[in-house]
Amino acid sequence: MQVKLEDILEGMEMQSEESHSYLNLETGEILYVSREALLIAED
């Protein structure tokens, strides 16, 4: 699988206390997840 460095850098720039970015190792896609969504998933 190939992943564009530009996509990884963009994901890193988008991270904040309110959202996180993750790399899907199967597709190479960068996923953005809000803190609120993570808290809901924990419940």
pLDDT tens profile 2-43: 788 888 888 777 777 788 888 888 888 888 888 899 889 987
Whole-angstrom distance, CA of residue 28 vs CA of residue 22: 10
- Number of domains composing the chain: 1
Handedness of CA 29, 33, 39, 43 (dihedral sign): negative
Residue, of 1 and 5, whose pLDDT is higher? 5
What pTM did the predictor assign?
0.57
Domain span holding position 9: 5-42
- Quick one: which of 22, 26, 17 has its CA closest to 7? 22
Q: Cβ distance 35 to 19 under 8 Å? A: yes
